[in-house]
């Protein structure tokens, strides 16, 4: 390069937010994002501190914010704290979700038949799986509105696809994910009216061995969280502006609503 030519400034480091960072997929995504040279800071939100310490070997690295990710007020507070030090978010990934109560709450589990449907379980699924991700988009909307290109991803589930449903069952979970998908489609349409609109998509991560899926994946081929996270980031890297409002499989093909 000619010495007389002006030197180009290095690209501004990007800011990523991972909601639900204490889960298997959330932790894996946080780790992989922190290793990307273009990412300056990863803000990791979760109610409980991740069991495995997250890597933080760089100057900016990972910042954990204790947040009840299903609480609208706490999500707003977290977005406000992030906004105090970062004027924009380039990538928002929401990994939150609920399917069963485990040993602590054995009555909260996927229903095999209509006779098992309970209002309490349905409300719990709707709050965590459908409302909370939209509350997160609501809270972070101002930080996603900028001219550097933002992407907002919510992990959904193929069982929430009405067009793909051939087996039935799992009423509360299926209904909550279908509601989430409709909500995300609405958000994408609304945000598209902005001058600088983020790309808003849902991604099905595939069968991943996590605490959420462990009781149900024994008979199914599954992947470790790190592998699923790699596939998810590959889909994110391929997104274009016209993809906003779509529902993608982990391998990149579009899924029916």
| Count of H-run helices and E-run strands, the chain | 6, 7
Residue 9 pLDDT: 59
Residue 3 pLDDT: 58
SS3 201: strand
Residue 212 pLDDT: 52
Residue numbers in the chain where pLDDT is lower than 70: 1-10, 50-60, 208-222
| Domains with residue ranges and CATH for the chain | 14-249 (3.40.50.720)
Strand partners, 27: none
Residue 60 pLDDT: 46
pTM for the model stands at 0.88
Residue 4 pLDDT: 58
What is the rounded CA–CA span in Å between residue 50 and residue 212?
A: 15
Residue 213 pLDDT: 46
What is the rounded CA–CA span in Å between residue 93 and residue 14?
A: 14
Q: 14-44 burial string, b = 16+ CB within 10 Å, else e?
A: bbbbbbbbbbbbbbbbbbbbbeeeebbbbbb
Residue 15 pLDDT: 97
SS3 213: coil
What is the rounded CA–CA span in Å between residue 37 and residue 179?
A: 36
Residue 113 pLDDT: 97
**Backbone torsions φ then ψ of 223, nearest 5 degrees:** -125, 155
Which run of H or of E encompasses 137?
A: helix 132-144
Q: Which two tokens stand for residue 113?
A: 């038949």
CB atoms within 10 A of CB 83: 15
- What is the chain's length? 257
What is the rounded CA–CA span in Å between residue 64 and residue 54?
A: 9
């Amino acid at each position: 390069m000619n010495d007389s030519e002006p030197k180009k400034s290095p690209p501004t480091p990007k800011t990523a937010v991972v909601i639900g960072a204490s889960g298997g997929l959330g932790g894996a995504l946080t780790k992989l994002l922190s290793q990307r040279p273009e990412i300056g800071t990863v803000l990791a939100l979760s109610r409980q501190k991740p069991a495995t310490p997250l890597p933080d070997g760089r100057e900016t690295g990972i910042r954990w914010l204790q947040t009840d990710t299903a609480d609208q007020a706490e999500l707003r507070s977290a977005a406000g704290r992030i906004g105090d030090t970062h004027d924009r978010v380039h990538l928002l990934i929401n990994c939150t979700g609920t399917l069963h109560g485990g040993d602590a709450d054995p009555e909260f589990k996927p229903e095999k038949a209509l006779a098992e449907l309970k209002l309490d379980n349905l409300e719990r699924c709707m709050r965590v799986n459908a409302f909370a991700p939209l509350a997160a988009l609501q809270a972070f909307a101002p930080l996603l509105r900028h001219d550097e290109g933002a992407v907002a991803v919510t992990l959904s589930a193929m069982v929430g696809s009405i067009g793909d449903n051939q087996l039935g069952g799992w009423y509360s979970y299926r209904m909550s994910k279908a509601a989430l998908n409709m909500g995300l489609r609405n958000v994408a349409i609304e945000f598209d009216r902005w001058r600088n609109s983020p790309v808003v998509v849902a991604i099905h991560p595939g069968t991943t061995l996590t605490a959420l899926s462990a009781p149900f994946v024994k008979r199914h081929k599954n992947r470790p969280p790190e592998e699923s996270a790699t596939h998810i980031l590959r889909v994110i890297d391929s997104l274009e502006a016209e993809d906003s409002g779509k529902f993608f499989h982990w391998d990149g093909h579009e899924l029916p609503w």
